[in-house]
Amino acid sequence: MHPRFAPIAVRHGIFAHLAHDTAGNTLMIVAAALLPLAAMIGSGVDMGRAYLSETRLQQACDAGVLAARKRLGTEAAISGTIPDDAELAGERFFNVNFEEGDYGSRDRRFAMSLDEDFSISGDASVAVPTTLMAIFGFGDIPIHVECQAQLNMANTDVMMVLDVTGSMAETNPGDSTSKIEALKSTVRGFYAQLSAAAPSTTRLRFGFVPYSTNVNVGALLRDDWVNTTWKYQSRERFKELGPLTTTTYVRNWIYKSGSVGAASVLSSYAATYHPGSAGYTYVDANEKVVTVPPKAAYYTCDQATPAGSYTAQDQKLSTATEPFAGPPSGTRKIDRYQRTENGTNKWTSRSGATCSVYAQTYNIYVRTYERVTDPYQTTVDKWRYDQLEKDVSNWRTEGNGCVEERGTYEIDDYDHIDLARALDLDIDLVPTSDPATRWSPMYPGVIYERAMKYDGSGSFSTGQKVTTDEYMNPGTLGTAACPPAARKLAPITASQLDAYLSTLTPNGSTYHDIGMIWGGRLLSPTGLFASENADISSTRPSTRHLIFLTDGETAPLDISYSSYGVEPLDRRRWKPGSKYTLTQTVEKRFTAACNEVKRKNISVWVISFGTGANPVMQDCAGADRYFVAADTAALNQTFATIAKRMGELRVTR
């Protein structure tokens, strides 16, 4: 029988059974829990998407500020803003790591700002739309992250060896300021970056070695490191006897008769002023050096003096002779005269800028006098040119601060350098009582380059010369340039840096080796200034960096007075006819000095500014620390790259 046709009683029994059967309640429970369960699952899905979005957004933010900080140039220290190229790099890296619409997000936003310590902070946000949670009235989930990239510095010493030769006054194509001014601006920005990145517990020191023909380090040296007597290529006055002749003079004026009136001023007028001119040298069409001396300003009286009526007549009265004891011995001749003066004498005389016309009247004024002629030995003033020893104990007040190098030798095998002889290349050697280990003060004013004349004629000669000729003085020629004073490693303020940079002026020729030698000496932790340059913490050792910047090729001159004297005469490291040219000698010694610096665990960075690549410079620094900067913008970026590599670039939040 089908249940629908069952008796009522039977059906009531079924209902009663069901009423007591609790297993069927599960359906109702599930139905009741369906909405909360959907909300829970939906929130998990949406929150998972939001979490993934936040994680990825944080990564993108970090990548963006890191990229921007890497590109941050030194101009940020001046402008106080993030340069366009750095901002573009940051945005590009952010966009690559979090594209518009990732994880269904929208309203993506990323902004960066420059902090006082030159860190770059970032702020990023997106909105992540919900899916299942939208049923319950929850729309977007806002995601916001912050990030920061910071350059941190350890204890750091930076020695900046800067080319200040004459060519630094030029301007690179595309720039609006000279190379020396571009350098100063970039160094200020570089200093600001490193100073801002250095915590208060960090020792950050800067030193400077401007170089050209020489370096100026005298003020940094102890008295007992400098010789007080030294032999210079110089000269001394020499008198030579000439032919015998006579000398004549008058004496014994005796009044006889007549009178003479007092001198009086007839008229006055302003003298004519003639301005002076500065001296200069030039090379003529025959490639000879011509020196034009300076000319002082002067006055002249240009109006004609009025005619007078003055006459003077001499009459010989007698002649006598007598022995003359000398020297030289001989015979004295005495002529006795009578002079008669009459009329009015007129003349012009100048006092300062005023010309005055004077008059004096003679009335048959008669006097007698004697004209005496004696034998006379003439002498000729000559110069003895030679290597002469001089007392230079007062060099601190008399000298210019530049010094001649200590003992060395002409090296013909640069793969095997004897530092026991090449004392100039031993950057750690502390002077002793041996004069060869000490430096000697430069005295450009006493140097004469025998036997080279100012007109370019002559040739170098190591032998003594006695002559009336004038030989080249490098101080007059401008070939003994002494640059601004070097500065030892020390903390420096921004105002102190500005004051120091203002002293840098371009002058002189390009001798790279002497710059590298002294940069290494002032930076080495085990040399002349070991007590000052030693690590101050065993757990935080100092990093040491030498930044060498030049704008040109090696360009020494044989007529220069350099740190090795007058090279064709002193011949301490080179002479005419040597195995290597003077230019090659300077470059090979630069390389040797660079290698000595790197042996002190010093990082050497070399920048060729406004010039092409130089293999010698690249070999010194290595490919990863050698840069070619064509203009100011490239120089700025180069220093930014060096700053980044010197420090530790990291994400701080």
Answer yes or no: is pLDDT of 38 > 90.
Answer: no
Q: What are the structure tokens assigned to 294, written together?
A: 């300076």
pLDDT for 550 equals: 97
3-state DSSP call for residue 622? coil
pLDDT for 19 equals: 55
Per residue in 265-290, pLDDT (tens digit) is 999 999 999 999 998 888 777 667 78
Report the pLDDT averaged over residues 491-514: 96
Query: Regarding beta strands 543-550 and 156-163, do their DSSP bridges make them parallel or antiparallel, or are they unpaired?
Result: parallel
Cα separation values, 230 from 384, 388, 403, 472, Å: 18, 8, 11, 20
At 540, the pLDDT band (50, 70, 90 cuts) reads: confident
Q: pLDDT: is 260 or 22 the higher one?
A: 260
Q: pLDDT: is 118 or 164 the higher one?
A: 164
Quote the CA–CA distance of 404 and 134 in Å, as a whole number.
85
3-state DSSP call for residue 581? coil
Query: Regarding beta strands 440-441 and 272-274, do their DSSP bridges make them parallel or antiparallel, or are they unpaired?
Result: unpaired
Q: Which is nearest to 592 in space by CA: 416, 430, 421, 439?
A: 416
Per residue in 399-430, pLDDT (tens digit) is 999 999 999 999 999 999 999 999 999 999 99
pLDDT for 56 equals: 86
DSSP 271-326: PEEE--B--EEEE-TTS-EEEE--B--EEE--SPPPP---EEEEEEEEEEEEEE--
Secondary structure E strands in 413-505:
440-441, 449-453, 465-467, 471-472, 487-490
| 225 CA to centre of own chain | 25
Answer yes or no: is pLDDT of 183 > 50.
Answer: yes
Listed in sequence order, the residues at least 6 apart from 21 whose beta carbon sits closer than 8 Å to its beta carbon are: none
pLDDT for 226 equals: 98
Q: pLDDT: is 387 or 16 the higher one?
A: 387
Q: pLDDT: is 7 or 351 the higher one?
A: 351
Q: What are the structure tokens assigned to 147, written together?
A: 């990030």
pLDDT for 84 equals: 87
Report the pLDDT averaged over residues 489-495: 96
Answer yes or no: is pLDDT of 22 > 60.
Answer: no
Quote the CA–CA distance of 557 and 568 in Å, as a whole number.
10
Per residue in 609-625, pLDDT (tens digit) is 999 999 999 999 998 99
Per residue in 233-257, pLDDT (tens digit) is 999 998 889 899 999 999 999 999 9
Other Cβ atoms less than 10 A from the Cβ of 295: the count is 12
pLDDT for 44 equals: 53
Strand partners, 337: 316, 369
Answer yes or no: is pLDDT of 332 > 80.
Answer: yes
pLDDT for 649 equals: 58
DSSP letter at 199 equals -
Per residue in 131-173, pLDDT (tens digit) is 655 555 566 889 999 999 876 678 899 999 999 999 999 999 9
DSSP letter at 5 equals G
pLDDT for 34 equals: 46
pLDDT for 297 equals: 95
Report the pLDDT averaged over residues 175-203: 90
Q: What are the structure tokens assigned to 489, written together?
A: 């490693």
Angle, vertex CA 526, rays to CA 549 and CA 399, nearest 5 = 60
Q: pLDDT: is 42 or 203 the higher one?
A: 203
Question: Rounded to a whole number, what is the distance in angstroms from the first to the last CA of the chain?
Answer: 81
In this predicted structure, which of 186-200, 315-329, 562-576 has the lowest mean pLDDT?
Answer: 186-200
> What's the CATH architecture for 156-226+402-442+480-651?
3-Layer(aba) Sandwich (3.40)
Per residue in 505-534, pLDDT (tens digit) is 999 999 999 999 999 999 999 999 999 999
Per residue in 51-63, pLDDT (tens digit) is 888 888 988 898 8
Quote the CA–CA distance of 435 and 441 in Å, as a whole number.
12
Helical (H) or strand (E) element with 447:
none
Residue-averaged pLDDT of the chain: 89
Strand partners, 282: 290
Cα atoms in the 13 Å half-sphere on the side-chain side of 600: 27
Report the pLDDT averaged over residues 494-498: 96
Report the pLDDT averaged over residues 282-308: 87
Quote the CA–CA distance of 209 and 402 in Å, as a whole number.
12
Q: Which is nearest to 220 in space by CA: 403, 488, 481, 428?
A: 488
pLDDT for 643 equals: 87
Cis peptide leading into residue 327 (ω within 30°): yes
3-state DSSP call for residue 178? coil
Report the pLDDT averaged over residues 379-386: 94
Quote the CA–CA distance of 167 and 190 in Å, as a whole number.
23
Q: What are the structure tokens assigned to 182, written together?
A: 């571009």
Other Cβ atoms less than 10 A from the Cβ of 378: the count is 11
Q: Using only C-alpha atoms, what is the Rg of the chain?
A: 45
Residue 387 · residue 252 · CB < 8 Å: no
pLDDT for 39 equals: 45
At 41, the pLDDT band (50, 70, 90 cuts) reads: very low
| 73 CA to centre of own chain | 21
Q: pLDDT: is 36 or 292 the higher one?
A: 292
pLDDT for 35 equals: 46
- What is the 3-state secondary structure of 342-381? EEEEEEEEEECCEEEEEEEEEEEEEEEEEEEEEEEEEEEE
Q: Which is nearest to 291 in space by CA: 476, 556, 509?
A: 476
Answer yes or no: is pLDDT of 496 > 90.
Answer: yes
In this predicted structure, which of 34-48, 488-502, 524-538, 590-604 has the lowest mean pLDDT?
Answer: 34-48
pLDDT for 284 equals: 74
Q: How many residues does the chain have?
A: 653
Cα atoms in the 13 Å half-sphere on the side-chain side of 252: 10
Secondary structure E strands in 574-616:
603-609
Report the pLDDT averaged over residues 533-546: 89
With the CA atoms of 188, 189, 194 and 196 taken in that order, what torsion angle do they form, in degrees rounded to the nearest 10?
100
Helix ranges, 113-243 (H): 179-197
Q: What are the structure tokens assigned to 26, written together?
A: 């599960």
Share of the chain above pLDDT 70, in %: 89
Q: Which is nearest to 311 in space by CA: 273, 267, 378, 364?
A: 364
| 201 CA to centre of own chain | 30
Residue 55 · residue 80 · CB < 8 Å: no
Helical (H) or strand (E) element with 125:
strand 120-129
Report the pLDDT averaged over residues 88-92: 92
